[in-house]
């Protein structure tokens, strides 16, 4: 991570601020299109799979698929190649994955240590772990974390950040892409509709509930933590030319650590420091928000000194 910033953005004058703000809403239109298409397609999918999977889950996965697929026409329209998206040559990319994984480990592990020291996280003594079972859990969690990162990073730190960067100043592009990233984690509903009651418009009903969840005050602490996650990864992406591999590696390690923590520890609901985490996953919350803000500030101080 010794490379100088190489991700080029254009800084516009105040005269273009209105156009820039409208441009920032384009991803929302793409999201709405993907969600609407997912609602319709999921209805027909449910006709074939019956009640094997919840309708809301099918809509969620379909939306993810359509968002990933939207990368390709967006790349063509914006005239962005693989390098502009953030992908380096294969040897460099795999090296970045390892470097990013290491960065993810050293940036989030202090949070887990603090959660244990403060006894917010307590060892789950009901689990009977063996070396083989633990190794299997670690490997499966790592694979799932990598899949999640390979989906989310090309969308948020790839095409979204690159597209916004064509019309917005760098920090505005990072902030807006991070808002989208954080918000989509809470665009959900827990309502299950029986298969026999599903019709072509049922998905849109769930969609309305999902958007209503975004104004739920209970999500605020987790939202701000994920916002800082997005900002951290956005800064990482824009500081290294074709550095998406770093973001994928870092994101993978974070998700992997969280999944392993949830397997090995329980959250002590009676802890006096419980406010430092949210109910979202028992990890992200004010502690993560403050820690990442400190890390980002430390990075810019280091850059200024050097």
- Residue 209 is predicted with a pLDDT of 95
Q: Is the model's pTM score more than 0.95?
A: no
Least confident of 3-12, 15-24, 259-268: 3-12
pLDDT digits 0-9 by tens, 224-242: 999 999 999 999 999 998 9
pLDDT digits 0-9 by tens, 26-44: 999 999 999 999 999 999 9
pLDDT digits 0-9 by tens, 176-205: 999 999 999 999 999 999 988 999 999 999
Distance, in Å, from the CA atom of 177 to the CA atom of 175, rounded to the nearest integer, reads 6
Helix (H) or strand (E) holding 68: helix 55-69
Give exposure, 101-128, as e/b (b: 16+ Cβ within 10 Å). bebbeebbeebbeebeebebbeeeeeee
Give whole-number Cα distances, 265 to 66, 100, 254, 288, in Å.
35, 25, 16, 17
> So where are the chain's domains?
14-305
Residue 277 zone, left/alpha/beta (φ > 0; ψ -120 to 50; rest): beta
């Amino acid at each position: 991570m010794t490379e100088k910033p190489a991700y080029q953005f254009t800084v516009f004058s105040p005269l273009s601020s209105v156009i820039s703000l409208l441009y920032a809403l384009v991803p929302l239109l793409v999201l709405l299109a993907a969600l609407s298409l997912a609602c319709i397609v999921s209805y027909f999918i449910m006709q074939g799979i019956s009640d094997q999977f919840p309708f809301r889950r099918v809509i969620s996965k379909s939306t993810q698929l359509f968002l990933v697929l939207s990368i390709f026409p967006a790349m063509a329209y914006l005239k962005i190649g693989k390098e502009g998206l953030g992908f380096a040559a294969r040897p460099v990319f795999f090296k970045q994955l390892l470097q990013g994984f290491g960065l993810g480990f050293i940036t989030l592990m202090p949070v887990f240590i603090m959660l244990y020291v403060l006894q917010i996280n307590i060892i789950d003594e009901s689990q009977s772990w063996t070396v083989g079972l633990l190794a299997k859990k670690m490997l499966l969690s790592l694979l799932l974390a990598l899949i999640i990162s390979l989906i989310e990073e090309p969308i948020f730190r790839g095409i979204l950040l690159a597209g916004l960067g064509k019309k917005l100043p760098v920090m505005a592009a990072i902030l807006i892409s991070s808002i989208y990233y954080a918000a989509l984690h809470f665009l959900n509903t827990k309502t299950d509709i029986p298969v026999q009651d599903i019709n072509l418009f049922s998905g849109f009903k769930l969609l309305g509930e999902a958007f209503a969840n975004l104004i739920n005050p209970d999500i605020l602490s987790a939202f701000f933590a994920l916002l800082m996650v997005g900002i951290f990864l956005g800064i990482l992406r824009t500081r290294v030319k074709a550095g998406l591999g770093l973001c994928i590696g870092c994101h993978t390690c974070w998700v992997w650590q969280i999944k392993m923590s949830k397997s090995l520890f329980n959250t002590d609901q009676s802890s006096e420091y419980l406010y430092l985490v949210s109910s979202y996953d028992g990890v992200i919350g004010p502690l993560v928000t403050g820690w990442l803000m400190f890390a980002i500030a430390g990075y810019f101080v280091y850059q200024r000194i050097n």
